[in-house]
Amino acid sequence: MSAPLIVLLPGDGVGPEIVAAARRVLERVGAFEFTEEVVGGASIDAHGMALTEQVLDACREADAVLLGAVGGPKWDSTDPDAPRPEQGLLGLRKGLGLYANLRPVHPSPALVGASPLREERIRGTDLLVVRELTGGIYFGDRGREADRAHDTCVYTAAEIERIAGTAFDAAAGRRGRVTSVDKANVLETSRLWRETVDRVAAGYPRVELDHMLVDNAAMQLVAAPARFDVILTENMFGDILSDEAAMLTGSLGMLPSASLGDGGPGVFEPVHGSAPDIAGKGIANPLATILSAALMLRHGVGMPGAASAIEEAVEAALARGIRTPDLAPVESEVPPMSDLPGEVAVGTEEMTDAVLAELQVSDEPL
């Protein structure tokens, strides 16, 4: 059996640093074939566009895609005709048919003090955001004429049915609750969303469904996050709510994601951005990318045991007090690692070393 083919898309900013860290971990747990391509701002610089057809074809031929981050002030523009790094993400999602984005949010017990919320508020939080990824306002008709602009939000019942099915399937294997988030008191697309989700729910009698307006959902994520099991929502709402939910973990640097379609290669990436202000400084948190690699092993290449081993190693490293700057104040004292004499794990490479140290349980790959 041939080794799984993984396309690495480091992207911009801290992307190359965190993807390199995840690759080190992947090489520890299995045999893979890697190819590396450019996307986002790096692709604009090289090819004048954020995603080339050649790169998209390479991704289609892969077993899975591991993405770093795209974007940065270098490519910011209000010119509607200027290429933007984010077009690379949208192109990947559309080109690979990735309609379901999964973002698990499970605060580490070791990081309860890093969350801006009190421990009693986040205790017991274990939720999954299921976000529709290829419809809605991000893919609707848009335009600008003089001092007028428009962005159109469009959904079909078929698009809603398939993402709802993903959420209900996930809930059936979890705690059996789906909260569907919309704005049905204002938006016609949300009224179609709610009607369609109700119809899909009828096929899952053991899964409980409730509907929640997006403004209330944003409030409840802060007030009582442990009440949620699976949050199902459309593209833009999911984009916003999942970033809010990430802060329950203490940092955007802790949240992985998986973008999946119907059987083709998925794209696995951290939720955080390219962080150009710290790019090249060696202090970016690699854990969201390492955990995204674990999701890739579980959902992309059929290696759930290796995925669990990585997740357990991350938890063990955090339990030992290892922190990157986003997880602890720079002036805080981080205990040295006894198996790495003289080093204090506060940077990207050292955090990766800490995870690898927890994975080194034998001389053979896991």
Instruction: Phi first, then psi: give them for residue 39, nearest 5 degrees.
Output: -155, 160
| The two three-digit tokens of residue 341, written as one number | 């004499």
CA distance 315 to 16: 23
Q: Mapping DSSP to helix (H, G, I), strand (E, B) and coil, where does residue 211 land?
A: strand
Considering the candidates 63, 99, 138, 182, report the single residue annotated as catalytic. 138
Q: Mapping DSSP to helix (H, G, I), strand (E, B) and coil, where does residue 68 land?
A: strand
Considering the candidates 215, 277, 281, 339, report the single residue annotated as catalytic. 215
Residue 147: active-site member:
no
Q: Mapping DSSP to helix (H, G, I), strand (E, B) and coil, where does residue 333 land?
A: coil
- Residue 313 amino acid letter: A
CA distance 338 to 342: 8
CA distance 163 to 261: 10
- For residue 107, which of 231, 19, 221, 275 has the smallest C-alpha distance? 221
Considering the candidates 12, 63, 183, 229, report the single residue annotated as catalytic. 183
Number of other residues whose CB lies within 10 A of the CB of residue 82 = 11
Residue 239: active-site member:
yes
CA distance 347 to 364: 27
Per the CB < 8 A criterion, the answer to whether 190 and 215 are in contact is: no
Contacts 24+ apart (CB under 8 A), 342-345: 345/317
- For residue 253, which of 278, 233, 236, 228 has the smallest C-alpha distance? 278
| The two three-digit tokens of residue 273, written as one number | 């951005």
Residue 243: active-site member:
yes
Considering the candidates 12, 182, 239, 326, report the single residue annotated as catalytic. 239
CA distance 320 to 318: 5
Residue 215: active-site member:
yes
> What residues are paired with 100 via a beta bridge?
132, 260
Q: Mapping DSSP to helix (H, G, I), strand (E, B) and coil, where does residue 34 land?
A: strand
List, by residue number, the catalytic residues: 138, 183, 215, 239, 243
